[in-house]
Amino acid sequence: MFRQYSQPAPVIYGCGAIQILGEKIKELGCKKVLCVYDSGIEKAGIIDKAIASIKAAGIDYALFGGVVSDPSDEVVDKGGAVALREKIDCVAGIGGGSSMDAAKAISILIHNPGPARTYIQAKPITVNTKAPVILVPTSAGTGSEVTKVAVISRPDKNAKWSVFINTTLAIVDPELTVTLPKFETVNTGLDAFSHAAEAMTCINWNPHSDLVGEAAIRKITANLLIAYNEPDNLEARSEMALAANWAGLAFNDPITHVGHAVADAFSCHFHTPHGLNCALALPETMALVAPAMPERMAIIANAMGLIVKGNESGAELGRMVADGVRGLMRLMNMKSLEAMGYTREKVLSLAPDVMSNHLASYCPVQITEDVAHGLLGRVYDTYR
């Protein structure tokens, strides 16, 4: 079997890196950029920093601040209309995964006819876009700045689907993450953990995803709790920014698997944050796949700093990793599904959604209805 790995775009990393956004747009030969973001990024003053850099480089700009969590194809259409009206030739997505994914999808509409839903299908298609896309993450989680994936909600289908798009440049500035609220720090940090761990246990794993995934898990385990307890700790924030970026690189080719299929079902039905959903699904996802991939689970356990003797079974390794993740979740006061008011029956009813998600097909364990049912039940029962 051949294995594929790639890097979608170069990355510029370092504190204060947002200052060179305008300069980089100029180097690309672009004249007018559309900044895509949400209200939280505007309130945090991050858009002002971006605009200052763009103006200093003598680049014209237009703004689309209408991104919301889990943006829909309608949001993409609205952003696309602004892009066409303003005759922009470049897109900058500034924010978390929602803003970056919206920016990617909006770039399609600059040279392709709408509506956006044409391109956002249950089985993702690749669209070769022409307008440069620059991505500036403001959380340490999604890794969307280094993936081809744009996840967009299709409310008409009650689903989150994806489209694969070219990106041009990522600017990772850890200083932008210090204003991240505590709950977003933990949610996004464990989203990054999920990306690394699911990439490493995906049927399409590759040597590159192993390398950066393991390193990302090592950094997240060492720094997430510090970033949570000390939001101004720039060293921990910097390590987390790098870890999230590497976790993004880890899943760019393999993609994720059933943990994210569970998370997408929670997003569609409960409208809870993506990172929280991924974290809730993560421990039992690892326990599910561990017997099929014991060597890989031992690498994950080692990266978490757990003591691995070498004679553990896959199931034991899976339990160790699952307990370790749940311990971290408890230390950071993450709520359980029960505490948020969701019943076990409601959670179990999502089994068909999990099964039908294309991500489930990348899991090393076949996701039948029984398996999905059992997984959802354990996700509910084991973290309370």
Q: Is the dihedral of CA 351, 356, 358, 363 positive or negative?
A: positive
Nearest to 83 by CA among 98, 63, 54: 63
CB 88, CB 107: distance < 8 Å = no
Number of residues counted as binding Fe ion (CB under 5 A) = 1
Residue 90 or 220: which CB sits closer to Fe ion? 220
> Please, what is the minimum distance in Å from the beta carbon of residue 286 to Fe ion?
15
* Distance, CA of 285 to chain centre: 17
Residue 191 or 284: which CB sits closer to Fe ion? 191
> Please, what is the minimum distance in Å from the beta carbon of residue 354 to Fe ion?
15
Residue 145 or 191: which CB sits closer to Fe ion? 191
Largest Cα separation within the chain, whole Å, is 63
Phi first, then psi: what are they for 33, rounded to 5°?
-110, 145
Binding mask 136-175 for Fe ion (x = CB under 5 A): ----------------------------------------
Residue 278 or 332: which CB sits closer to Fe ion? 278
> Please, what is the minimum distance in Å from the beta carbon of residue 267 to Fe ion?
10
> Please, what is the minimum distance in Å from the beta carbon of residue 89 to Fe ion?
30
Q: How far apart are CA 325 and CA 136, in angstroms?
A: 28
Number of C-beta neighbours around residue 358 at 10 A:
15
Residue 33 or 146: which CB sits closer to Fe ion? 146
> Please, what is the minimum distance in Å from the beta carbon of residue 215 to Fe ion?
18
> Please, what is the minimum distance in Å from the beta carbon of residue 150 to Fe ion?
12
> Please, what is the minimum distance in Å from the beta carbon of residue 268 to Fe ion?
14
> Please, what is the minimum distance in Å from the beta carbon of residue 60 to Fe ion?
34
133: helix, strand or coil = strand
Within 178-207, the residues that bind Fe ion by CB under 5 A are: 191
Which contiguous run of DSSP H or E holds residue 127?
strand 126-127
Residue 80 or 137: which CB sits closer to Fe ion? 137
The DSSP annotation for 351-362 comes to HHHHHHSGGGGG
Q: How far apart are CA 194 and CA 141, in angstroms?
A: 9
Residue 53 or 357: which CB sits closer to Fe ion? 357
Residue 175 or 198: which CB sits closer to Fe ion? 198
CB 64, CB 82: distance < 8 Å = yes
Parallel, antiparallel, or unpaired for β 60-67 and 126-127? Answer: unpaired
Looking at the chain, how many residues does it have? Answer: 384
Give strand pairing partners of 38. Answer: 67
Q: Does 70 participate in binding Fe ion (rule CB under 5 A)? A: no
Tell me which residues touch Fe ion (CB under 5 A).
191
